[in-house]
Structure 1
């Protein structure tokens, strides 16, 4: 066996050569009418979560990070990415895990009386060093071992955090509120938060309405979040409601830091001992970005989009390290690739392939084991006359989209629009947004993430009527037993619960470990789970639902068959006098009559529209 040769920087050099060849076309391909709606869509999809996270970070850091810092980080990271990165389709921003990690680091600084921003600078500086080391050693090729198991566990964790934070934003009242007014404030907060959630959910289904023209329904569905936030913000300006004193988004009246400090962090004031102590959070931030950013990049370049231009994983991770260092200098949170904004950006620039039904081996056979496409090696075409893959082979989903505008202009334009919101008129408008409305937005994002998650669908399966089990799981129950499938799900729930405890409830300092747990799921999935449950079981459960990155439709089962089974059970119950007056089945029938399934496919359309 030949010895392994490590060619330092070979991945970066290869990425640069490949992307330089198409760099001019990255700009000229953006001169297309489809760029404008895609720009507006991804701008709103990116700005609102950033504003929501800024509210949380302002409270978690006692005003050190706020609206200005989070929005500025979003704008700067996307400007850097649009101009200098290899793959401009990735959308950058401050993520939920970064907000959680920042809150934990702030708690450590308070406990040990360390100045927060200089310590964060050195954490970012060490992270930049680790980013550069990983990129020049071609470490990003390891990401090909990441599977659905790790991604969906991470997604359920973040969705849980969103939901909990949303409830906290809705129910929180300022300490200065008089006792006589607290009940009114609580009730109004609940009404605003739940109203925001329900209206967003309602508008996100507009594509299935029969009212209005098609373009009107598309606008209502795609921009359900900003339209709802504007609506409920305007409602709170009514004098009667305004007098209640609903807490609003903390933002400065003009472009300045939230605490009034200078923009350049005085990093040289930190004691030497704490400079080296910052290696620990720097390493943890690197682990978080190594997983989170690369997964978002892979999802933005999923095979279902059929992209033509080359990838640049190693070079992009190098650029991410430089962007992290710049954020440290300015005293703003570091951004990285966003999920689901990155794949949504690609999707908004593509044309769907008009097939009545995309054929996939999983439609007739048990789903095949899915792993990410190797970032360094292009997928090979199947050999002529190849047989249908067995349940233990790796599958690549077919392209569902075509004619993707792979360019830099939409990312550049949306980052400039984000910068525009740091001017006085827009900051004034942001200061009027009620925090319970942002709580409703958090709930919408959390529930939306769960609705298209096959891990969550298996949690629901624990309590599902045996007669209504989706067909894609019936085969697994018959082959390996319901107990095996449920044990796998419960084990995944336990991992998620432990990770949530580390990120939210663990003692100060211990919470820093939660990104390491997420990253540790990769070797657990690869080597531990096959020993516990069997390789075939794990590979089947890890792939049920389709490709990571959006192909969640019919993989592993036929939704038509599932719907028919539910209707049959409903009719039998009606004939036997059981639940005869229940309109649940009729409601589902009407929903399906619009052309959408009431199963996974319908839910994915709803989330995608958001």
Structure 2
């Protein structure tokens, strides 16, 4: 750095941009103004453009979103069946995903967001089932009344613009949440220590995928495991290989290279499905857990439907029927106070709705994603409450913005440069509409879904996780712990901050990431996952400013334009300092020259006088 002379100093970093690193809450739009504003800005203004921008990418992304959505939908459906005694199952989850996805695509405010099942909501539903069981009231009745209160809370929050508090989240919170999502991708695809999910779990002889063949003398679990691992990692490799053609020199024109890039995922799934079905038809691999037919999962022993077949009537050869699609609000078992009591658990359900939706919306609408069609937090929160009220009436699972499919959807619709930076995004409603139409149509041909090997889908999930890592600054800073400082990449924070300060910030962020990660993966406390993520916001607002200066937080946690503003101010201050320093040195040089000339003249006069004498 430049050294000052004669008391001239560079301006302090903290004075370059007033208020650097501070976070401000936007002014509220009360009394429903926020809902109206969201509708006008996001739906009314852009709806037609988003419904007619059909192109090649639309087809490719539609198929990708369908694959991304159908696997977790069926998985969550199976878990819901175990957790709610089949009151909610795979068919109910598919139906909910399909109708909400289609409806939201048509009237939603932010159609890049994909609605689906999440772990915290599943955990809360399980807790509500246990409450209903303890009350000796049918679960679907309690569920329906809770849904009524839920939509009321959602409407009040949207009416008074309470969603603005989610916007206090900064890069600090967003990147913790993003890295959690990436960890879900990678662990679920490779090896999840918290559940028997992932390719390497197939090596265990006790894995559930081997159970149907335990009495088959010709079955070898290691053969099945090896094929599954090759299918999964092979699919991941082929996706990266296909996507690399976009900026390659192969093929005759850019249109073909772009097509290979856009259809990389669905093409790889088809290739490795064919490899499995025709290359190794006799080696069993795990497939999606698909229900047998379209009907409510709960099967009744008799007309009252209070007992479940076959668990409660094992000697009965066939079920009497299935549960009704609509919940009976009046089936309270003589406890007329239950509808009022449901207001209490509905508060917890609303907080999950608010946090799961809000954090995902904030992550998707980050300024670096270059979205131009606006944000509709209040309008979409109101819609989410309404959708889940209808689901409560029908005995379908509550759905919220599902982060993993949302990120996949956004990245698939984005145009990026060679470094993965988003240049633009095709903001459309068609991909969400068509993909969820496919989910609905798949209920008519459920057996066809069993053709896709589950290991191939693991390969897709692994690709999604690995492709997201380079875009997360938190991950890039974490890698600096293991890099030689001389070869660190040039970024605003590495150029202007001390290395120990950067590491200190990364350690603090890593601790919060570890906290959220543990809560998310421990089933007993997983319901608190959104709350833990939300706690990152006050940590950033009140704790970090005491540990770091505002300009440091600006470089590490600010928006791109704010960082650019500070860097420009810093460079301008250096230029001004150098200019003043040059002028100052010039003046000193001129004074020295005058003095030297004067001394020279005096010496010459003395010599002349001596000569005269």
Q: Which residue of 1 aligns with 2:101?
A: 78
Structure 1, residues 350-374: CA drift from partner, whole Å, max 9, x if none? 889x9x99xxxxxxxxxxxxxxxxx
Q: What is the alpha-carbon distance in structure 1 between the residues aligned to residue 187 and residue 428 of structure 2?
A: 37
2:267 to 205, 227, 230: 227
Q: Which residue of 1 aligns with 2:346?
A: 279
Please state how far the C-alpha of 1:252 moved relative to its aligned partner.
Answer: 2.4
Q: What is the alpha-carbon distance in structure 2 between the residues aligned to residue 40 and residue 71 of structure 1?
A: 21
Q: Which residue of 2 aligns with 1:515?
A: 530
Structure 2 residue 451 is the aligned partner of structure 1 residue 428: no
Q: Which residue of 2 aligns with 1:129?
A: 152
1:526 to 536, 541, 558: 541
Q: Give the conservation status (yes or no) of the 8 Å contact 1:39–1:414.
A: no
2:231 to 176, 189, 192: 192
Please state how far the C-alpha of 1:224 moved relative to its aligned partner.
Answer: 1.8
Q: Which residue of 2 aligns with 1:289?
A: 356
Q: Give the conservation status (yes or no) of the 8 Å contact 1:50–1:70.
A: no
Please state how far the C-alpha of 1:541 moved relative to its aligned partner.
Answer: 0.9
- Decide whether aligned partners of structure 1 residues 296 and 324 sit closer, same or farther in structure 2, where only a CA change above 3 A counts: farther
Structure 1, residues 1-34: CA drift from partner, whole Å, max 9, x if none? xxx9984222223444556754xx733x3575x4
Q: What is the alpha-carbon distance in structure 1 between the residues aligned to residue 376 and residue 426 of structure 2?
A: 17
Give 3-state SS (helix, strand or coil) of 1:476's partner.
Answer: helix
Structure 2 residue 191 is the aligned partner of structure 1 residue 146: no
Please state how far the C-alpha of 1:313 moved relative to its aligned partner.
Answer: 3.0
Q: Which residue of 2 aligns with 1:542?
A: 557
Q: Which residue of 2 aligns with 1:216?
A: 256
Q: Which residue of 1 aligns with 2:504?
A: 487
- Which consecutive residues of structure 1, in runs of 5 or more, have no partner in the other structure? 358-396, 558-610
Q: What is the alpha-carbon distance in structure 1 between the residues aligned to residue 514 and residue 41 of structure 2?
A: 42
- State the TM-score, normalizing by the size of structure 1: 0.69
Give 3-state SS (helix, strand or coil) of 2:294's partner.
Answer: coil
Structure 2 residue 47 is the aligned partner of structure 1 residue 26: yes
Q: Which residue of 1 aligns with 2:513?
A: 496
- Decide whether aligned partners of structure 1 residues 312 and 511 sit closer, same or farther in structure 2, where only a CA change above 3 A counts: closer
Q: Which residue of 1 aligns with 2:312?
A: none
Q: What is the alpha-carbon distance in structure 2 between the residues aligned to residue 296 and residue 479 of structure 1?
A: 27
Please state how far the C-alpha of 1:347 moved relative to its aligned partner.
Answer: 8.1
Q: Give the conservation status (yes or no) of the 8 Å contact 1:100–1:504.
A: no
- Decide whether aligned partners of structure 1 residues 120 and 243 sit closer, same or farther in structure 2, where only a CA change above 3 A counts: farther
Q: Give the conservation status (yes or no) of the 8 Å contact 2:354–2:381.
A: no
Q: Which residue of 1 aligns with 2:469?
A: 450
Q: Give the conservation status (yes or no) of the 8 Å contact 1:42–1:345.
A: yes
Greater Cα radius of gyration, structure 1 or 2: 2
- Decide whether aligned partners of structure 1 residues 263 and 285 sit closer, same or farther in structure 2, where only a CA change above 3 A counts: farther
Count of equivalent residues:
489
Q: Which residue of 1 aligns with 2:64?
A: 45
Please state how far the C-alpha of 1:45 moved relative to its aligned partner.
Answer: 3.0
Q: Which residue of 2 aligns with 1:563?
A: none
- Which consecutive residues of structure 2, in runs of 5 or more, have no partner in the other structure? 1-26, 192-196, 300-321, 569-613
Q: Give the conservation status (yes or no) of the 8 Å contact 1:105–1:512.
A: no
Please state how far the C-alpha of 1:258 moved relative to its aligned partner.
Answer: 5.4
Please state how far the C-alpha of 1:163 moved relative to its aligned partner.
Answer: 1.7
Please state how far the C-alpha of 1:106 moved relative to its aligned partner.
Answer: 3.1
Q: Give the conservation status (yes or no) of the 8 Å contact 1:143–1:291.
A: yes
2:112 to 87, 90, 93: 90
1:529-608 to 2 correspondences below 5 Å: 529-543=544-558, 546=560
Q: What is the alpha-carbon distance in structure 2 between the residues aligned to residue 439 and residue 141 of structure 1?
A: 36
Structure 2 residue 456 is the aligned partner of structure 1 residue 437: yes
Q: What is the alpha-carbon distance in structure 2 between the residues aligned to residue 20 and residue 93 of structure 1?
A: 17
Structure 1, residues 257-316: CA drift from partner, whole Å, max 9, x if none? 5566547253645773984563354034223234234325634xx486473x66543222
Q: Give the conservation status (yes or no) of the 8 Å contact 2:66–2:435.
A: no
Q: What is the alpha-carbon distance in structure 2 between the residues aligned to residue 325 and residue 498 of structure 1?
A: 32
Q: What is the alpha-carbon distance in structure 1 between the residues aligned to residue 437 and residue 363 of structure 2?
A: 22
Please state how far the C-alpha of 1:469 moved relative to its aligned partner.
Answer: 0.8
Task: Kindly report the root-mean-square deviation, in angstroms, between the aligned alpha carbons of the 2 structures.
Answer: 4.0
1:399-414 to 2 correspondences below 5 Å: 400-401=423-424, 408=429, 411-414=432-435
- Decide whether aligned partners of structure 1 residues 31 and 275 sit closer, same or farther in structure 2, where only a CA change above 3 A counts: closer
- Decide whether aligned partners of structure 1 residues 351 and 156 sit closer, same or farther in structure 2, where only a CA change above 3 A counts: closer
Q: What is the alpha-carbon distance in structure 1 between the residues aligned to residue 496 and residue 561 of structure 2?
A: 23
Q: Give the conservation status (yes or no) of the 8 Å contact 2:516–2:532.
A: yes
Q: Give the conservation status (yes or no) of the 8 Å contact 2:116–2:399.
A: yes
- State the TM-score, normalizing by the size of structure 2: 0.69
Give 3-state SS (helix, strand or coil) of 2:482's partner.
Answer: coil
